[in-house]
A and B are shown apart, each in its own frame.
Chain A
Amino acid sequence: MGNLLQIKNGEVVERQRIPQVDFARFFRIMTDFVANNGYIVQFFAYAEEGRTKLMAVVRNSNLFIISTVVDSEFPSLTLTIGTKFHLFEREIAEQYGIRPAGHPWLKMVRYHANVTGKPDVFGNNYRVDIPGKYNYFQVQGESIHEVAVGPVHAGIIEPGHFRFLCSGEEVLHLEIQLGYQHRGIERMLTEVPQQRLPILCEAIAGDTAIGHNLCCCQAIEALACITIDRGASTVRTIALELERIANHLGDLGALSGDVAFHPPAAYFGRMRGEFLNLLLVLCGNRFGKSLIRPGGVSQVMTGEQRDIIKNKIKELRPEIEHVCNLLFSAHTVLARFEYTGTVGRKMADELGMVGYCGRASGLEYDVREFFPTECYADLPANTNKVTNGDVYSRAMVRQEEIMHALTLIEMLLAKEEEPHRRVSLAAHQLAPDSFVVTLNEGWRGEVSHCLLTDSEGKIARYKVKDPSFHNWTGLAMALRNQEISDFPLCNKSFNLSYCGFDL
């Protein structure tokens, strides 16, 4: 794999060290890499010296980067190499007006004009903001009907449009159109003062405030050569795990609510609140906003807080076990969960799914284990046992991860108290002409931020990737040949982010 440069998670690379090859070679390297169990972490376009370049961050058990120069068109990698590239290429086409020629499904991602001012690849003029303006897939036949759901839904959930092509109750295909919450975050991140970066990153996806912010802060620390206190690392790890527990508990509750098994829904809902309150104890915000800041954490974790968390976990662990038992031992629930919305290992692998969705299908990828940050190198990894790729597996992975996360927090709290100082927001001088990519296992999966700085150390390109970006297509695939009435259950078992995708 000649020209790939191996890097570490959160390692600063000078831009001139990034290997740059011509497109034909890039194409060959990518073909080889993906064929040998390689996955895409980031694949995006950026401008350099008046030219447009493509940067690929890829992984197998290591991280690699490579870049290439493209003109207004390049032969689609999706077409020849595989589906892993498809959404990335569509994003490149939308953001920089470059056409991946021969892309099998070239459709806009978020409905916005490109940054280069080139003619739009999709032929839209964007005078009116209508993300769903597009000719959806059609299936024809006598008993075929379409059901359009959203973008405004019943209940308080985010906007997204779902188009079901059905034959009676059976879904032949589900087409998902997002983009209704596009806020232009990537662009904003390059324009605002540096102190605002963590605050903006906390708002990329409200339920992953810690995951996204952690990526951002680690990137800034790397670029500004800041090392953080060991104690601050512990607090960050605990916060990330608390976020994971709270969200997984909420999801298990929602899953039982969706099959009309209400008692666990109520219990899990209450326990989710308890864990959010632990984040409140840590930093004063139930979603952990304002906790992580470049250089460390904004609040010092004292012995009192350690005790509160320790005692709460001791109190809640048996309760969680009990309610999980109630949920997973009800045969009516299992009848709904098992064999519903199955994504097989092969399909998950082709799509490059990440997080619990990927692990439920048997893809053993966990950033905490592969590219550990903070305290994860010293902590044991989790292995999930149920890998059938159905709703049941996705629910079981959550249960296992909750138990695992509880153990991790207990291990971290069992250590001696480590002194750490509190930091406040400040602007740091970033290394000029550099590149950094940070990865963390947010509760949904691999969260990744890429930063490129210019010759003055200003951020020239900021690329954000939420795990949902990999997994939305998985949901569409899970629905094939399922009953349309099982969609809410499948959707909840994936529980993907709309705003994290829309950016």
Chain B
Amino acid sequence: MEFSYEVEGGNFSKAGNAASSVKKVLKQLNVDPKIIKRVVVALYEGEVNVVAHAYKGKVLVDIDTARINIRIEDEGPGIPDIDLAMQVGYSTASAMVREMGFGAGMGLPNMKRNADTIEISSKVGAGTIVELTTKLSS
């Protein structure tokens, strides 16, 4: 099964739409609620990252019986130092984003913790691609 969702940069009111929709699909597929929670946390953080940092982005979800693969790609400023971005507490988020309770430098670490594998590639001035894969049976 494949799904795709558009994510608008700067539009926080729609952040979480992809996560909410994927949650419904996984519930219908009777996936273990613990696994659903991990997938949803990782995807929500990914959406928020696109909204907070990029101009626009896309979430591509591919589900089969064994695993879920989520590819979040954006057009944005890119990440100059991925290792630094992965550190808990490091953030480049704006003051407005921080006031909302985001931008605490927990997004990417939360994503890593809640996916079996995470791959990040980024080009400064062009955009970032984050790919998450999680097994659907424990």
The answer to whether A binds B is no
Residues of B in contact with A (beta carbons under 8 Å apart): none
Residues of A within 8 A of B (CB): none
